[in-house]
Chain A
């Protein structure tokens, strides 16, 4: 899948959770959303992107993706 497409989708999710004043909750919300709705190959790819120092994700999204990576639940 195209990275650009995944980045855009992930940032759209981030934009929704961005208004949450509690940052930890926002990050957890994004992480849960990716887990619940993204098929594993999409999650793997966005994790790869972050791990290869991709910079186009919103900070809270990148953090959520790093948390996903740490769980290795794929």
Chain B
């Protein structure tokens, strides 16, 4: 159920261009062909009572509450399932209809507990509303007969409860689970009076297939499926539209509030990215924002072995600024830097990079996108001319062939995963290239046509082999190429990919994928209609990450799959604002809008706007910062909203680097792992506590709105501004909208963006400027941003991480639905009910050979380090490959990952590490040492000198 003032039209809108005119209760109405009578009535303001219909789901016609009379038609058709027809005359209200509806309502109510006054849905119940609307005054049947009033409640899901006594068996939940979410976890069990809703095989919700997306809860018209937060706190009284702060889908939500308390998050049906759907993280996992671990007072210390001291904001900022200035005086201008966060807003990110470039006077700024999608930036800019995906999410509705490479949308980008599954159920073909059998390969009513189960680290070999087939079998779209691309580069590329060593037969050896599967997949992608490629970190986080991105761009250009709806190259971004943080000039070599620092004209533009001289040389990237810290030339770092001490690879090396530094300033919600190495802690603000914007994977700039006062007293951008002023670079913004105005003035892609426009349009996809005043859903429509598309050669270079006698297995890493990244947020919510520890997935054959049973402790050792996890025996991984996640700091997955990185961007190779696995009986040495260190740091936090003691 939803509390809002939006009209529920009962059935989805029809997209038909043909219009039909009819008469409803004497009013003339014109609507698109295919519209239901119910919706047509609703659009003219006539509300027909309904129970089983809602406009997010296809009509079902089971409750009969919505019946109407139609001139010339027999009986009383259901208005939700009856489409409009030209000249139709409909009557929605008369004595007869009222009687029938009252009769139906009476039947429902006779098997419904009449505890409305104390029901959690009181005031927000469609049954209550409908019964009121039809004017039911008396119920003739008592509770003596058979009824469902004693049916047991299911409270197993941590976020919502299921009270079958209140169920009216309208099937909305079942249909929501099928149509909206695509999980098929619910069924109607039994027939007639005995029919009831049940998760999977009459299981409890938590034991069923349910992924807790909440779509059924939202669809339920009664209190049967209800958020526990509403049961506990009552209904919200106002709501604010904002944007999810978890993944790159960027779902739009109504934060439903009681004063300053979030009661529930309800995905916004007008949300242009998510159209009213969400996943378990965005909808339910917001409790971290008010978790007791939040640190809300600034703290400082001279050494990381000292106890923390709480101080005022002024003292903390002064302390930090002084340290930074001293370091620069002692070690030089380039000895300090900053890291921006893909979890923070565009405005905050922009400010941090501005502080570094203008305030610190160097270009030592980088962002966590370094470790995820920097190869996307390099690869797509080099080939297409712009560092971004080419489509909007809705584009998938027009795809005929979907090629998913190294991405796991149902876990990583769940709402988009559901959209994709919907399209696949409609008949689109699917090719999955992934070393693991991800859910998409086979799930209810979805089955991949090809699963190219390649060996980790061989993406380039596979992509080039696909290109080989396209070129040698004459499947390329030569017309598109000759009109749109640089033909010289195409000719060179053709010669290269056509070489016999790039054939599927030759590459089968390398990739482990049979040649005929590669050939079949290539033919399907090239000739199956609109071909769309979606890829994720399984592409980028490799030593040849950028090369694979280039190879993907080559495939799309060669087959003409670019520049219109249904096609394109779509990087699925990990964190909510990865696209935005990259756009905002977070990389050390480029200003906002991807303009290189060496470009004199751009530099002059920024110098005059920022009134300061800027450097023309690229600064240090994150891994370079660590190396420079170890060699003693890099000493101070300001980190906003990032946890490099957990998320970065070869973590022992990272920790060693952090210990060498003299001033680490961490701005965050919690004492994260990095803060354990810090000298200054500045309390961060959650997405609920500030204003700003996030940019999702489809370049969509969406609003983030403040719904509560920042617990620490300041929004994150204000803290950066204070720090800038303290180091001597004046900043004086009154509101983040002024920061966006500055970004728009300085950046061609953002020239038309403003808060007023975002407010008016809901969200904007950049580029938005004079050429595209309403934004740009599809890029490169008439021409590539760089002019002509450029083909580049993609020679396969094997990674150094090869299976050997010493390290016989390949470890690859990933993430799961319920946890998010380093887990700092989701670990502090009930989402731990689904995933309470990181496990090592291992194939039964390997497990048997190594004598490992499910849940055994196993040691995993690479050339970088060793850690211990519990085993999970699973056929999702192939023999020879093991897999784990890194949501928990003490799992130490990043103790094992190595210093290997992408050749172009230094994006770490998280996805391939050669390892040795054996059964063990205790945690690794690293784990013990780190546990000690971490415990000590927790004590130093607990024993902190509080502000007044200090005075």
Contacts and interface: CB of A to CB of B under 8 A. Distances in A.
Nearest to A43: B617
A16 B617 contact: no
Among A15, A35, A36, A39, the most chain B Cβ lie within 10 Å of the Cβ of: A39
Contact of A19 (B363, B546, B795, B903): B795
A12 interface: yes
B627 A5 contact: yes
Contacts of A5: 627, 899
B619 A9 contact: no
Contact of A37 (B543, B618, B628, B793): B618
A2 B364 CA distance: 19
A2 B178 CA distance: 55
B418 interface: no
A50 interface: no
A41 B903 contact: no
Given A39-B617, A40-B617, A1 B628 contact: yes
Nearest to A39: B620
B901 interface: yes
Q: Give chain B's interface secondary structure class.
A: loop
B853 interface: no
B612 interface: no
Nearest to B590: A36
Contacts, number: 64
Given A36-B589, A41-B334, A13 B904 contact: yes
Interface residues of B, number: 34
Interface string B892-907: 0000000101011110
B633 A16 contact: no
B147 interface: no
Q: Give chain A's interface secondary structure class.
A: helix
B589 A20 contact: no
Interface in A26-67: 33, 35-42
Among A18, A35, A36, the most chain B Cβ lie within 10 Å of the Cβ of: A36
B496 interface: yes
A15 to B, nearest CB: 4
A42 B903 CA distance: 15
A15 B797 contact: yes
B793 A42 contact: no
Contact of B793 (A12, A20, A33): A20
Interface string B134-155: 0000000000000000000000
B242 to A, nearest CB: 36
Interface string B93-128: 000000000000000000000000000000000000
B488 to A, nearest CB: 11
B499 to A, nearest CB: 10
B903 A16 contact: yes
B652 interface: no
Interface in B613-634: 617-621, 624, 627-628, 630-631, 633
Contacts of B904: 13, 16, 33, 37
A61 B621 CA distance: 21
Contacts of A20: 793
Contact of A21 (B492, B627, B631, B906): B492
Interface string B236-254: 0000000000000000000
A35 B628 CA distance: 18
Given A1-B630, A39-B624, A74-B617, 4 more contacts: A15-B797, A18-B795, A39-B588, A39-B620
Interface of B: 334, 363-364, 492, 496, 543-544, 546-547, 588-589, 596, 598, 617-621, 624, 627-628, 630-631, 633, 793-795, 797, 899, 901, 903-906
Give 5 closest A-B pairs by Cβ, nearest first.
A12-B903, A19-B795, A1-B627, A19-B793, A15-B797
16 contacts: A2-B630, A2-B631, A5-B899, A9-B903, A12-B797, A12-B903, A13-B904, A15-B903, A19-B795, A36-B618, A38-B618, A39-B617, A39-B620, A41-B628, A42-B624, A74-B617
